Amino acid sequence: MPNIFSKEISETLVERVNKLNNTQAANWGKMDVAQMLAHCNVTYDMAFDQNFKKSSPFIRFILKNLVKKGIVNAQPLKKNSSTAPEMLIKTPKIFEEEKSKLIAHLQKTVKVGEAFFDGKDHPGFGVMTKDEWNNFYYKHLDHHLTQFGV
């Protein structure tokens, strides 16, 4: 799996994000491009926002034991995979704002480095290793950029 903490991989992802435009149609799924960017931003908010709401203990148990493995492994996500309710984006979003925020998140991820993520608590999956965070971030973002043809 490519290392999202490396500057080179991050720059490649930023290049792909910069190829998006606000009228780009999805190859699958229900979100428009701005909603997809906002959806991807939520995954970074989970790590960077200290006030991000954790799932209930019961939901965390379910997510950690039944869902996490499929999200943090090296296998690509399937088209039209189900999404956690806190990550669903149903309201209109402003494309340029979400795009800028995602690029800033990618740059911050490189800046803080993998040590910041190693042993960091995910609000749904519990404590994750740097490799689990890497796989989660890379494959999730790659999935959605591919969804929009970039």
Q: Is residue 109 part of a domain?
A: yes
Question: How much is the pTM?
Answer: 0.93
Flag whether 120 is in a domain.
Answer: yes
Alpha-carbon dihedral angle through residues 134, 139, 144, 148, given to the nearest 10 degrees: 120
Domain assignment present for residue 2? The answer is: no
Tokens of 52: 């991000």
Split into its structural domains, the chain has a count of 1
| Residue 81 falls inside a structural domain | yes
Domain that holds residue 39: 7-19+28-147
3-state secondary structure at position 146: helix
Asked if the structure places residue 1 within a domain, the reply is: no
Q: Are 27 and 147 in contact (CB under 8 A)?
A: yes
In a domain, 126, yes or no: yes
Q: What is the pLDDT of residue 16?
A: 99
Q: Note whether residue 133 is domain-resident.
A: yes
How many beta carbons lie within 10 A of that of residue 105, not counting itself? 19
- Successive 10-residue mean pLDDT values, the chain, 150 residues: 98 99 96 97 94 88 92 91 84 98 99 98 95 98 98
Distance CA 10, CA 79 (A): 23
